[in-house]
Amino acid sequence: MDKHWIEQLKITDIESVTPMSGGDVNEAYKVDTRTEQYFLLVQRNSSADFYAAEIAGLKQFEAAGIQAPVVIDYGQIAGDAYLVLSFLEEGMEGQQSELARLVAKMHQNKQPDGQFGFDLPYQGGDISFDNTWSTQWRDIFVKQRLDPLKAALVEKGMWQTTDIEQYDKVRAIINQSLADHHSEPSLLHGDLWGGNHMFLTDGSPALFDPAPLYGDREFDIGITMVFGAFNQSFYETYQQVLPLADGAELRLEFYKLYLLMVHLLKFGGMYASSVERSMYKIIQAKA
């Protein structure tokens, strides 16, 4: 990290800046001062509003009492967007039942006007999603998430005619299933895979790196199921605290498909068979 760049941060008495793992989108650093530690995210060649949605999500978490990093500062330096957060010290693996209670607590926060969406769009490294408010969850999920993913996959030449035909069948099933399901606009993490939670040194769970929106809480739960970082205790406890409605098993597959499509777009053909299997499951469930 360039020394002159670092000197422009609104942090005094910096002693060291150490690169850390920050996902595939941002550069990430641990910043040590004489008295504090901070977590610094940098997005090169981006405007200051690159982190606007994440900041808004973290502030909503703070207001709702959801343990997560606290926003310290943000802005732009030399054409690069940056975000400074409080540093959370990771500890040993904690109780996934407590993680489930934290997620359920987040989901109990509802959009007061009954609207689905968010004030800000989701900005990712490979694709962005519109979060324009709607009275219907299926409009947000199908029209503002799945359809843009399908268009991007076609544009990149990753989907051909057969894939598009399968998608159209799946889209119709999802639309009808969500039309028949009562959704409530809960505060969602929006990207709740295993890499976006941690247990602190006292064993308590914390969430970070949100892609926030108000939507059906099954969206978050479906995403947790893709990469296997959440155990049976998590799902049993969540079901005890906030039971899912009948028919959830099929609907959860919709959200698994979404995340797999995102990964197919980002990382290529290694996810093609997983996307195909997920679409097949959805079609067979309604056959």
Q: Which residues are catalytic?
A: 191
Joined together, the tokens standing for residue 209 give: 């790196």
Q: DSSP secondary structure string, 203-256?
A: S-EEE-S---EEE-THHHHHHHTSSS-S-HHHHHHHHHHSPPPTTHHHHHHHHH
Type of residue numbered 47:
S
> CA 221 to CA 104: how far, in whole Å?
10
Nearest CA among 182, 155, 166 for reference residue 251? 182
Type of residue numbered 101:
R
Nearest CA among 257, 235, 232 for reference residue 244? 235
Number of H helices, E strands in the chain: 10, 11
In the chain, what are the helix, strand and coil shares in percent, each to the nearest 5?
45, 20, 35
Asked if residues 55 and 49 have their Cβ atoms less than 8 Å apart, the reply is no
> CA 234 to CA 225: how far, in whole Å?
11
Q: What are the strands, taking DSSP E only, across the chain?
A: 14-20, 27-33, 37-43, 71-77, 80-86, 122-123, 128-129, 186-188, 197-199, 205-207, 213-215
